[in-house]
Structure 1
Amino acid sequence: MARTLEKRRIGQSSLEITTLGLGCASLAGIFSAVPADQARATIHHALDAGLNHVDTAPQYGLGRSEHLVGDVVRTRRAETILSTKVGRLLKPVSPDVQDKGAWVDPLPFDQVYDYSYDGIMRSFEDSLQRLGVNNVDILYVHDIGVATHGVEANKPLWQQLASGGYRALRELRDTGVVSAIGLGVNEWEVLMDAMTLGDWDVFLLAGRYTLLEQTALAPFMTTAAQRGSSVVVGGPFNSGILVGGTTFNYAKAPEAIVARVKAIETVCTQFNVPLPAAALQFPLTHPVVCNVLPGPRSPAELDGILDWWDVAIPAELWTTLAEKGLLASGTPTPGGTA
């Protein structure tokens, strides 16, 4: 059943995005396989439930996610704010020498990083073909920065973006084939660097502004607000630690993180709020955040997320977390700041 979800504007664009979206990395089979029919059913279920934002990328399943997303979105394009990413080209390769990474059953390609003008244009056109559409709404530069590439390897890639890649993105936006441009990364520092290149509409930041971690609060979130850019928060559960898992940032959670999660959960229990519900809804207390992007693997998992989304959270929960030092100083909360 469709919900009436709040919508927020993306930056200075004309796009209105529901505050809950669907991330489609998990549907491509990261760490464990997801049947194609199940993946497509999950996307349909999200749109049926009233979510209008679907995010994918060439990296996810090395093309698999874009194909699956396209199978659904082509028939429901008017309902969907669709985003994909550039920065990786897919090169055909024999499966027996393929670098599959964490993908269980990827398509037979290896990825080649290319953030140049030509590389971004080709990546965009390749994505349109995999998706089977003639435009996307949001185009992100994917995984540029030292966290992915290391300090030295990132330098020439950043130069590609600075000397031509950003110009390609601006041209695509100016001609109307995309409505918004941004970066999709796991480190906020590179987003500060990106602001020196020009104007961006939206940043997809995974894991750095969550109930557990607010390292992106300043200077990044404050600067984004000043520049009129929006933020989509990916990874709201910090790789699983906030939904009862044991991983944080895709690795075993250190004891200090486990202890902090227990302290947050104690406060949530005091207010009879499930920890995952608080984690899912927390990022939207910041006015620059326009969307939270979890990645369920099935319609049933999405239903669980929707149940957490429907939980009413009293403002006093956030206030108590702030009083106990469990939110960073300056974190916006209903009625004030931490």
Structure 2
Amino acid sequence: MSATSFNTRPVGRTGLELTELGLGGATLAGIFQETPDDQARATVSAALDAGIRYFDTAPQYGYGRSEHLMGDGLRFRTEGIRLSTKVGRILRPIQSDAERDYPHAWVKPFPFEQVYDYTYWGVMRSYEASLARLGLSKVDILYVHDIGVATHGAEQNAIYWKQLAEEGGYKALTELKASGKVSAIGLGVNEWEVLMDAFALGDWDVFLLAGRYTLLEQTSLEPFLSTCLARGASVVCGGPFNGGALMGTGTWNYAKAPEHIIKRVADLEALCKEFGVPLGAAALQFPLAHKAICNVLPGPRSPAELGGILDWWNVKVPDALWDALADRKLAAPGTPLPNGRVA
């Protein structure tokens, strides 16, 4: 796979920079359908060959499987690489899958179950265990994973937020950064509202926000993204295809898309067709028009899927498409567009 010349963008005020396109690690662990180990490793290698230098993973993904496989792909090619993983879940070994008393989306996960822990020692244990699974001595970015009402419900989330805010979780993150063991700290979530709570707690460098600032929806535009600019924090755009909705799968937020989402996707698809542009190309290139966004993070599960994403990345989208997007009110008012216009 031939290399692409990627621009880089700064991560907050850390001095760290990421290539504008990254590789997400959830699909490598077999979410919803199996990804063979060799295929996962080959996808990481293909991303490296293509010039991608930012990679994201998490203990939750396949209960250790994604970290293990991503480590295999990166271990001896770490020059210039930027890697993130996450804290908030401790993995506890089990003897059989039947011991997990909760539903999950992983095909052939590792024999562990997740235990939520956002305390000081929970963060420290998770960080050390991730390094062991990766087979690496350092990660660059550490995200607090899936804290928020959407994941835990209001009552349980209040308990976990107390762990982060009052029982040392945030303190552990700041200590890891101050010691140089990580270069940046943040949260990785699917809801922007909890990130506003995070700003009240303290300072952060970068957030991985999945699905809430995309060609399909810009719900995080105000007040979240404007606050990021004011506070010097960057945002990685996870889930740029909204869980498949912008790829024609009919899914959204990990479930069947409701009618209003299906209609909006159809409108966007019709617009792109008028200009001879693949919907996926517009979806990939749209988020980077916002100054807070430092990276777009899709999750291909094979070198072939990665190749398709790179093809979309390299499509020249005409300025007139973005003008039409604004004129037809297919973007939220105030949304910056890649041609320099504001919707």
Report the TM-score, using the length of structure 1 for normalisation.
0.98
Aligned counterpart in structure 1 of residue 181 of structure 2, from 148, 168, 177: 177
Cross-structure match for 1:200: 204
Q: Runs in 1 of length 4+ with deviation above 4 angstroms?
A: none
* 8 Å contact from structure 1 (residues 202, 229) kept in 2: yes
Provide, for residues 22-48 of structure 1, a one-character-per-residue CA deviation record: whole Å limited to 9, x for no partner: 001001011111110100000000011
Q: How many residue pairs get matched?
A: 338
CA distance in 2, matches of 1:260, 1:336: 21
CA distance in 1, matches of 2:187, 2:139: 15
Q: Does 1:125 align with 2:132?
A: no
CA distance in 2, matches of 1:231, 1:107: 30
Provide, for residues 175-205 of structure 1, a one-character-per-residue CA deviation record: whole Å limited to 9, x for no partner: 0010000000000000000001111110000
Which letter does structure 2 place at the counterpart of 1:78?
A: E
Cross-structure match for 1:277: 281
Instruction: Tell me how far 1:335 sits from its aligned partner.
Output: 2.2
* 8 Å contact from structure 1 (residues 47, 79) kept in 2: no
Cross-structure match for 1:138: 141
CA distance in 2, matches of 1:96, 1:51: 35
- Report the aligned-residue RMSD: 0.9
* 8 Å contact from structure 2 (residues 215, 282) kept in 1: yes
Matches within 5 A, 1:86-235: 86-99=87-100, 101-163=104-166, 164-235=168-239
Question: Quick one: percent identity of the two aligned structures?
Answer: 64
Aligned counterpart in structure 2 of residue 337 of structure 1, from 311, 321, 342: 342
* 8 Å contact from structure 2 (residues 97, 111) kept in 1: no
Provide, for residues 43-64 of structure 1, a one-character-per-residue CA deviation record: whole Å limited to 9, x for no partner: 0000110000010000000000
CA distance in 2, matches of 1:113, 1:145: 12
Cross-structure match for 1:251: 255
Which letter does structure 1 place at the counterpart of 2:316?
A: A
Instruction: Tell me how far 1:134 sits from its aligned partner.
Output: 1.1
Cross-structure match for 1:60: 61
Which letter does structure 2 place at the counterpart of 1:122?
A: R
Q: Which runs of 5+ in 2 are unaligned?
A: none
Once the two structures are overlaid, the 10-residue window that deviates more, 98-107 or 231-240, is 98-107
Report the TM-score, using the length of structure 2 for normalisation.
0.97
Q: Specify the SS of the correspondent of 2:200.
A: coil
Instruction: Tell me how far 1:72 sits from its aligned partner.
Output: 1.6
Which letter does structure 1 place at the counterpart of 2:136?
A: V
Which letter does structure 1 place at the counterpart of 2:61?
A: Y
